[in-house]
Amino acid sequence: MMSTEASAVALQDCAALWSVGEAPASDVVDAACDALVAGLDTPGLRILAACTRAEAACDVLDLLPPALGELGLVFYPFGSPEGVEPAARALARRVLAGRSAPWNLTFWSHKRGGSELPLLQRLAELDEQYTLLECSGRTVDEVDAEVTAMARRLAARP
């Protein structure tokens, strides 16, 4: 079972990913359920966790802000630029945990058009390195190692 701290981070990460369109609302409900199982318990979290998959798409937008607020977590409105860096940190943690390939992080950064955040700009540039491996003389492992190092720095940002 996850600790309450780890489940709070997982819920925050999932909410950030949802805010940029990278996680479905049903994943937010699943993260809320996991948080309850781990021992976090607030009225808003219980209501959010009680959503069915069918209700999630419509109800998460209204239920997520109070649930996160009760836990002292941050809500990023759907589509807001404020959610980009937290979503990038969430994706970086997935890479570091082995739940996602490094190129997924670079592809996402490239798809987002980089950002004002220099780490995301560099990750977007590294996405092109995967495409140009034969021309650049680099190996997948070399690019993966650089992406993983950047993921560590990104995940460590406050």
Residue 58 is assigned to a structural domain of this protein: yes
| Residue 75 belongs to a domain | no
Question: Helix crossing, 84-96 with 102-111: angle to 10°?
Answer: 160
Number of domains in the chain: 2
Q: Are residues 55 and 108 both part of a single domain?
A: no
pTM score above 0.75: yes
> 15 and 65 share a domain?
yes
User: Which residues span the domain enclosing 114?
Assistant: 81-156
Q: Does the residue 76 lie in any domain?
A: no
| Domain match, 37 and 86 both | no
CA distance 149 to 143: 10
**Mean pLDDT by groups of 10 residues along the chain of 158 residues:** 91 96 96 96 97 92 97 93 92 96 93 74 89 86 95 89
